[in-house]
């Protein structure tokens, strides 16, 4: 709720905004402004004090008649004439002041008052002409100082209002930046992986460099290129590579910078952006996170025509309106292509859609090599690091290499080792290790059996990924964890693999209930994961025998709130009950399989838990040897 103080008027006047931020901004500068005013007051006072005529004791002022009497009595030794002022020195050491009443000289004036001329010869009479810097400053400062103060006051006021006024007149200007090529220049060779995406963009750069060979074939320049991919896959990095490769002006801007609180600003900035790019044609314009303004229209509450939609309409017109002969290529990046307006994606606007996938094993190794350059890496198998990082994006791998360097520096070492990379993987995935976390022996035993349950079920299923590491060292919010990694890269997942993941997720819960006859809150995240997987098996992947090959429910995830409120389910209440039954059936089936494995290999479970309590961590080879020792046999979950 806004506070209503009188200074809000001044905050509004100087900042153009009547809100809490304006009030805080105004009050923040108030102390500085008061200091400036006090300093100016002291400066003016000092100037007046310097040039003012001051004496320790003010002399007595007498009339000319009294002065004439003193001269006649012989009491005056010296008279200094300064304009109309007479400074009189007496024999007793005193001083008095008198003033002339006429423009005649002093001698003539004083004689007229009855002083004998011979009395004037007994004293010294001198004329002091006003001159010097102090005299002229005494005349000029009283005249000029008010003018100077008024000019300074107006300058101060306009300087305070300048930001708000300029902002008001520059709202319609696009805050775009022209890439100058200064600093680090990124080329396509500096971007590991993304071969198909680089080929598409190399073609665009070639079109701008050598347009004639395409024109001779009757080809037209592509209007727009949309980079789509999950966060961290390298969309902005590829745009920087295009800027580094192309010899044309490259303008870049974030989509969120178009929209302001004032209506019409976004559309005006779009016009300014494209107008500038057309003047510099051939050129490239890159709009990052275009989903900020490119979301589907007519989906808000009330379906109103808001500022974002007006901005999108202007982008649509600029990209493919009546003016089509402009050599401007629009590049945009988003990780939410599903929410973009259909008109933005049609041919003639974003002609090319470049999909950036998560890097595979070979790509991850290449990315790690790039980020390992310039670092003192010694005897590090980057291939092994790449094997342990399935699902990592390029940004994750860059962070991983940086964390490895930080871990080495923290240990006061000059080289980065393999263990630094392996430890940084777990740190990126789960957070830093919390070895100082104090837990009771009972909690440590429960955690050991919980993780042993996960690992044992994973080792006992053919369709589960092999176990690489089991530990009860707390990281992040996890009390312990079991690291499973696939033996090969895969894009598809089968129903049996999903069921195996379900059984492994429930392994910790089953182990606790089997060994202790009770369960703890440590299984909450496992149960949540298992429920989500079972729900997707039934509603998204069509793997339920009862419901058959169909999807159920709209996967908008509350993107369009206006539609979600009015939308109806695409299945009946009876189907909803069947969904609940199927989800429970899949969870129950996986639970029974996990229980069968744990009860059937209780000795192996105890051995794993005992080793974890002693060592806290079991690596892949030690775990495999332990399973062979207890004759672990794998079963299928079919």
List, as one string, the DSSP characters of 31-44: HHHHHHHHHHHHHH
CATH topology of domain 177-356: Rossmann fold (3.40.50)
What's the CATH code, domain 361-430? 1.10.8.60
Residue 442's Cβ-count burial label (10 Å; 0-12, 13-18, 19+) is exposed
Say what the pLDDT of residue 562 is: 43
Say what the pLDDT of residue 58 is: 63
Q: What is the mean pLDDT of residues 378-396?
A: 88
* Contact present, 293 and 311 (Cβ < 8 Å): yes
State pLDDT tens for residues 47-100: 656 555 544 456 777 777 777 777 777 777 887 777 677 777 887 777 888 776
Where is 587: in which H helix or E strand?
A: helix 573-600
Say what the pLDDT of residue 441 is: 85
Question: Percent of the chain, pLDDT > 70?
Answer: 74
Select, from the ranges 409-423, 476-490, 556-570, the one with the highest average predicted confidence (pLDDT): 409-423
Say what the pLDDT of residue 164 is: 46
pLDDT confidence tier of residue 511, bands split at 50, 70 and 90: very high
Cα dihedral across residues 406, 407, 410, 416: positive or negative = negative
Residue 19 has pLDDT above 50, yes or no: no
| 129 HSE (CA, 13 A, CB side) | 2
Say what the pLDDT of residue 158 is: 66
**Structural tokens at position 358:** 């998560």
Start-to-end CA span in the chain (Å)? 61
**Which has more pLDDT, 633 or 452?**
452
**Structural tokens at position 62:** 């007498």
Residue 614 has pLDDT above 60, yes or no: yes
Q: Which of 210-224, 395-409, 607-621 has the lowest mean pLDDT?
A: 210-224
State pLDDT tens for residues 95-129: 888 776 665 666 666 666 667 777 777 777 777 66
Where along the chain do its domains lie? 60-127, 177-356, 361-430, 441-629
Say what the pLDDT of residue 503 is: 93
Question: Percent of the chain, pLDDT > 90?
Answer: 15
| 526 HSE (CA, 13 A, CB side) | 29
pLDDT confidence tier of residue 175, bands split at 50, 70 and 90: low
What's the CATH code, domain 60-127? 3.30.720.210
**Catalytic positions, written as ranges:** 451
Residue 5 has pLDDT above 70, yes or no: no
* CATH class of this structure's domain 441-629: mainly alpha
Say what the pLDDT of residue 566 is: 42
Q: What is the mean pLDDT of residues 221-248?
A: 84
Helix ranges restricted to H, 188-264: 195-209, 211-215, 235-245
Positions of E strands within 46-150: 60-61, 76-82, 85-90, 95-99, 124-127
Cβ atoms within 10 Å, residue 463: 19
**Which has more pLDDT, 219 or 8?**
219
Cα–Cα distances (Å) from 570 to 298, 537, 544, in that order, read: 21, 17, 17
**Structural tokens at position 631:** 């004759």
How much is the mean pLDDT over the chain? 77
């Amino acid at each position: 709720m806004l506070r209503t103080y009188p200074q809000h008027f001044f905050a509004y006047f100087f900042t153009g905004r009547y809100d809490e931020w304006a009030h805080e901004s105004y009050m923040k500068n108030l102390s500085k402004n008061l200091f400036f005013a006090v300093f100016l007051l002291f400066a003016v006072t000092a100037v007046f004090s310097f040039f003012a005529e001051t004496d320790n004791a003010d002399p007595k002022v007498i009339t000319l008649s009294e002065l004439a009497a003193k001269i006649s009595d012989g009491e005056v030794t010296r008279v200094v004439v300064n304009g109309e002022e007479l400074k009189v020195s007496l024999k007793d050491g005193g001083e008095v002041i008198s003033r002339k009443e006429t423009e005649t000289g002093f001698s003539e004036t004083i004689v007229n008052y009855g002083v004998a001329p011979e009395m004037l010869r007994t004293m010294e009479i001198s004329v002091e002409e006003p001159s010097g810097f102090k005299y002229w400053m005494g005349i000029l400062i009283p005249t000029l100082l008010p003018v100077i103060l008024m000019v300074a006051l107006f300058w101060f006021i306009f300087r305070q209002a300048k930001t708000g006024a300029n902002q008001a007149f520059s709202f319609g200007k696009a805050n775009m930046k022209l890439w100058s090529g200064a600093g680090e220049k990124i080329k396509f060779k500096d971007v590991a992986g993304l071969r198909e995406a680089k080929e598409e963009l190399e073609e665009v750069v070639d079109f701008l460099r050598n347009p004639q060979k395409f024109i001779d074939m009757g080809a037209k320049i592509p209007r727009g290129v949309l980079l789509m991919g999950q966060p961290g896959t390298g969309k902005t990095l590829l745009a920087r590579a295009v800027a580094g490769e192309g010899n044309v002006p490259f303008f870049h801007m974030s989509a969120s910078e178009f929209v302001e609180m004032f209506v019409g600003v976004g559309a005006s900035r779009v016009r300014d952006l494209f107008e500038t790019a057309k003047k510099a044609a051939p050129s490239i314009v890159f709009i990052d996170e275009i989903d900020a303004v490119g979301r589907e229209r007519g989906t808000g509450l009330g379906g109103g025509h808001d500022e974002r939609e007006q901005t999108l309409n202007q982008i649509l017109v600029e990209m493919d309106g009546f003016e089509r002969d402009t050599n401007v290529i629009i590049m945009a990046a988003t990780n939410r292509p599903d929410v973009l307006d259909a008109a933005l994606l049609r041919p003639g606007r974003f002609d090319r859609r470049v999909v950036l996938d998560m890097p595979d094993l070979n790509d991850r190794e290449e990315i790690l090599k790039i980020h390992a350059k310039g670092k003192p890496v010694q005897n590090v198998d980057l291939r092994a690091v790449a094997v342990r990082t399935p699902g990592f994006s390029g940004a994750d791998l860059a962070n991983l290499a940086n964390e490895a360097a930080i871990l080495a520096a923290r240990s006061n070492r000059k080289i980065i080792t393999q263990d630094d990379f392996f430890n940084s993987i777990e740190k990126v995935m789960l957070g830093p290790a919390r070895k100082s976390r104090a837990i009771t022996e009972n909690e440590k035993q429960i955690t050991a059996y919980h993780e042993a349950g996960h690992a044992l079920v994973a080792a006992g299923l053919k369709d589960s990924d092999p176990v690489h590491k089991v530990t009860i060292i707390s990281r992040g919010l996890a009390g312990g964890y079991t690291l499973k990694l696939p033996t090969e890269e895969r894009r598809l997942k089968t129903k049996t693999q999903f069921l195996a993941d379900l059984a492994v997720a429930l392994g910790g819960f089953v182990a606790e209930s089997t060994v202790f006859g009770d369960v703890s809150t440590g299984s909450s995240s496992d149960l949540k994961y298992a429920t989500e997987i079972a729900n997707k098996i039934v509603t998204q992947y069509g793997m339920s025998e009862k419901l058959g090959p169909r999807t159920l429910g709209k996967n908008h995830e509350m993107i369009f709130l206006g539609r979600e409120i009015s939308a109806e389910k695409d299945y009946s209440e009876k189907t909803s009950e069947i969904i609940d039954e199927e989800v429970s059936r899949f969870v129950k089936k996986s639970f029974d399989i996990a229980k069968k494995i744990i009860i059937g290999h209780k000795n192996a479970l105890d051995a794993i838990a005992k080793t974890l309590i002693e060592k806290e961590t079991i690596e892949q080879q030690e775990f495999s040897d332990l399973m062979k020792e207890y004759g672990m046999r794998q079963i299928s979950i079919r």
